[in-house]
Amino acid sequence: MKRGIRNVAIAGLLWVSAGLGAQGTSEPLSGLSLAPGMKRTADAIQTYRFCGKSASIALYLATFPDLDHEVAWYTHAMPGAAIFNADTGIRTFISKDGTAAVEAADAFVSYFRFSPGLSPAEMKILGAAPAARDCTAD
């Protein structure tokens, strides 16, 4: 009996602490998880068209010791995301519905919002050339 009560109490504490820890951890533009300690740069949010869709980008300074840690964090934070590795070494994580993305580039992390969401083919284009603003199929 004591063991059951203890397990329920521990589960309750974990649930409450997870809820408290989750507050304020979403990046405002994309709604994706924001890594601890990330700081938004003074750069204004940029808006543009990508594949005929509305796109916005916000830039953050990364707090990871290296790109491997950064990639591991986003892999865990975005389960089920489409992940692309560009020739430049930049990793792009795109939400399942294609409406949000993160580009991990060591010192800087870019958060994106797309409306409507990117198709799988458009995701591949973004993943292959993360800094590109054009959307042309090969």
Give the separation between CA 3 and CA 17, rounded to whole angstroms.
21
pLDDT score recorded for residue 106: 83
Is residue 82 pLDDT above 80, yes or no? Answer: yes
Judge whether 20 lies within some domain: no
pLDDT score recorded for residue 134: 74
Among the ranges given (19-33, 42-56, 93-107), the one the predictor scored with the smallest mean pLDDT: 19-33
What is the domain extent for residue 110? 25-128
Judge whether 77 lies within some domain: yes
Count: domains in the chain? 1
Cβ-based burial of 48 (10 A; exposed 0-12, middle 13-18, buried ≥19):
exposed
pTM of the model: 0.78
Judge whether 12 lies within some domain: no
Judge whether 138 lies within some domain: no
Judge whether 19 lies within some domain: no
Judge whether 85 lies within some domain: yes
